[in-house]
Amino acid sequence: MMKTFNTMSLEKETFTPINEKTINMYVCGPTVYNYIHIGNARSAIAFDTIRRYFEYRGYEVNYVSNFTDVDDKMIAAASEQGITVPELADKYIDAFNEDTAPLNIKPATVRPRATEHIPEIIEFVEDLIKKGYAYESEGDVYFRAKKFKGYGILAHQDLAEMESNAAGRLDDGELARKEDPMDFAVWKGENGDGAIAWNSPWGKGRPGWHIECSVMSTKYLGNHLDIHGGGIDLAFPHHTNEIAQTEAHTGEKFVEKWLHNGFVTVGDENEKMSKSLGNFTTVHELLQQIDDPMVLRFFMATTQYRRPIAYSQKNMDLAARNLERIRTGYRNLQFRLGSAVAGSDADIEAKAQEKVDAFVEAMDDDFNAQNAMTAVYELIELANLYSQAEEVKTDTVNFVLKQIKDLMNVFGVDGLEQAPLLDADVDALIKERDAARETSNFARSDEIRDELASRGIILEDTPQGTRWRRA
């Protein structure tokens, strides 16, 4: 029985899809005014992993994740760079696709942009006004937060405190335009800078931040979603406001399960990532600094999604060692295919299946990646032991290899079967050494071994032939 932690109830709840074999899942994407940072990457990887696990369990996942391509940050960044807002959006959407590809993040079923849905947004806002949930004021349109019963329940905050905080964030002009400090914008009138605006019944303007996700999620997934995800920082105000305006519009329950990933801290002191602290890291920069993007993917995917992640060189180094441990175990067993005999070993396959079952049990428990990885490491130990057996069976080798590959695919880690490419001269030296050993020229064999070791390539002589690994 699968269980997920619902931010709405603050409890683990049994997960049963609305439709038996299909899961409708919406995850808030980035505002594309800059390269994505590692916090954005953590959210993208976390929910990609959850999606992959659902697919592993046999579900079809309709996965929609948006781009916010118009807001105040977009307008400011475009002005600074001397380009239009659409040009800025195109630039950083292309960068997003380029930077997430090495992290093996699957493309969304639909990747909508806010600016592609202006007519639907206007129609949505008109309906809110018609129902008395929204009102126009000097070209802006605001949602009456307190009119929606249960406003703020997702944030688990006191309404009076929320009201006080809201009032403290507003300037005198905005306070004057609003009926209540808690009210939030679903449409923002043009501020006179001519940056970007669309015609509307309330004059030229643009969508508020929250309205876009309500419109796009319901357009592509219907009024009632299985899962809505995003970073925990979005629970209030973004997701809180989404619930209010969406349910006011549809009259239906918006989301069954609210899933939120934890924060990313930076460095050994677990500092909050901040430009002012000088620890702000974009994925674009990071990918130029690391040799193997799969290490970053592995590091983030194998931490349970609700837990905070401490990004540090020490933790990345540990992840690299653990990933290499898995790769080595896989390749050790793969190497034995060359000497395997026909048939199967039922006891080995049964033991492997026990590890797979433990993996599923862990992931069914709110995607407990740490416990799931314990099962993977135990499966790797089994693979290593079997690879050292005097005789191995083809069917069993392939069975164990498939289980390892399938489980690691849940975490988005691939390329297990691909050993790092050797330079032509290194490959030639290995072949020369094999020939030297066949003719008992052990002096030359040892000489080549030492030379390769100096290059960081360690040779291992086995009854099945010569294997190699990087030091």
Residue 216 and residue 259 in one domain: yes
User: Residues forming the annotated binding site for ATP?
Assistant: 275
C-alpha separations of 451 from 16, 140, 448, 460, 462 in Å: 59, 73, 5, 14, 20
The string of DSSP letters for 415-454 reads: -TT-PPPPPHHHHHHHHHHHHHHHTT-HHHHHHHHHHHHH
User: Residues forming the annotated binding site for Zn(2+)?
Assistant: 28, 213, 238, 242
Q: 102 lies in a domain?
A: yes
Q: What is the CATH number of the domain that holds 102?
A: 3.40.50.620
Residue 392 and residue 429 in one domain: no
Q: What is the CATH number of the domain that holds 399?
A: 1.20.120
Residues 220-264 have pLDDT tens digits of: 999 999 999 999 999 999 999 999 999 999 999 999 999 999 999
The answer for 82, left when phi > 0, alpha when psi is -120 to 50, beta otherwise, is: left
Q: 310 lies in a domain?
A: no
Which neighbouring-strand residues pair with 61?
Answer: 23
Residue 338 and residue 360 in one domain: yes
- Rounded to 10 deg, the angle between the 209-221 and 118-130 helix axes is 100
In the chain, % of residues over pLDDT 70: 93
In this structure, what are the phi and psi dihedrals at residue 179, rounded to the nearest 5 degrees? -70, -30
| Average pLDDT of the residues in 324-340 | 93
Residue 48 and residue 175 in one domain: yes
Residue 452 and residue 339 in one domain: no
Residue range(s) defining the domain that contains residue 452: 424-470
Residue 256 and residue 110 in one domain: yes
Pairwise CA distance, residues 420 & 11, whole Å: 45
Residue 134 and residue 219 in one domain: yes
Among residues 261, 210, 221, 318, the alpha carbon closest in space to that of 18 is found at 221
213 within 8 A of 238, measured Cβ to Cβ: yes
Q: 417 lies in a domain?
A: no
Band (pLDDT 50/70/90 cuts) for residue 294 is: very high
Residue 230 and residue 344 in one domain: no
Residue 254 and residue 403 in one domain: no
Q: What is the pTM of this model?
A: 0.90
Please state, rounded to an integer, the average pLDDT across all residues of the chain: 92
Note the pLDDT of residue 169. 67
Residues 42-100 have pLDDT tens digits of: 999 999 999 999 999 999 999 999 999 999 999 999 999 999 999 999 999 999 999 99
Q: 96 lies in a domain?
A: yes
Residue 260 and residue 140 in one domain: yes
Residue 345 and residue 247 in one domain: no
| Average pLDDT of the residues in 325-347 | 94
Residues 123-145 have pLDDT tens digits of: 999 999 999 999 999 999 999 99
Band (pLDDT 50/70/90 cuts) for residue 358 is: very high
Pairwise CA distance, residues 367 & 374, whole Å: 13
